[in-house]
Amino acid sequence: MGSPKQLLPVAGRPLLETVVAAACASQLDEVVVVLGANAEAIRDAVDWGRARVVVNAEHEQGMSTSLHAGIRALDASVERCAVILGDQPDVTPALIDRLLAAQEQSGLPASALSFDGLLHPPVVMRRELWPDLLALRGDVGCRQVIRARPELVAAVPANAPSHHPVDIDTPEDFAKLSSRGAGTERPT
Give tens-digit pLDDT for 69-110: 999 999 999 999 999 999 988 899 999 999 999 999 999 999
pLDDT at 37: 93
- Where does residue 117 rank: exposed (0-12), middle (13-18), buried (19+ CB within 10 A)? exposed
pLDDT at 185: 40
Phi then psi for residue 90, to 5 deg, are -90, 0
- Residue 96, sorted as left (phi over 0), alpha (psi -120 to 50) or beta, turns out to be alpha
Residue 165 has pLDDT above 70, yes or no: no
- Find the range with the poorest average confidence among 26-35, 80-89, 159-168, 178-187: 178-187
Residues whose CB is less than 8 angstroms from the CB of residue 179 and which lie 6 or more positions away in sequence, other chains included: none
pLDDT at 41: 94
- Find the range with the poorest average confidence among 45-49, 61-65, 159-163, 164-168: 159-163
Tell me, which fold does domain 5-176 have in CATH? Answer: Spore Coat Polysaccharide Biosynthesis Protein SpsA; Chain A (3.90.550)
| Average pLDDT in the chain | 88
pLDDT at 118: 85
Query: What mean pLDDT comes out for the span 29-55?
Result: 96
Residue 34 has pLDDT above 60, yes or no: yes
- Where does residue 110 rank: exposed (0-12), middle (13-18), buried (19+ CB within 10 A)? buried
Q: What whole-number distance in Å separates Cα of residue 80 and Cα of residue 132?
A: 14
Residue 167 has pLDDT above 80, yes or no: no
Domain limits, the chain: 5-176
Dihedral angle over CA of 156, 162, 163, 164, nearest 10 = 60
pLDDT at 187: 43
DSSP SS3 for 80: strand
Read off the amino acid at residue 18.
T
The tens digit of pLDDT for each residue in 2-27 reads 678 898 888 889 999 999 999 999 99
DSSP SS3 for 105: helix
Query: What mean pLDDT comes out for the span 32-50?
Result: 96
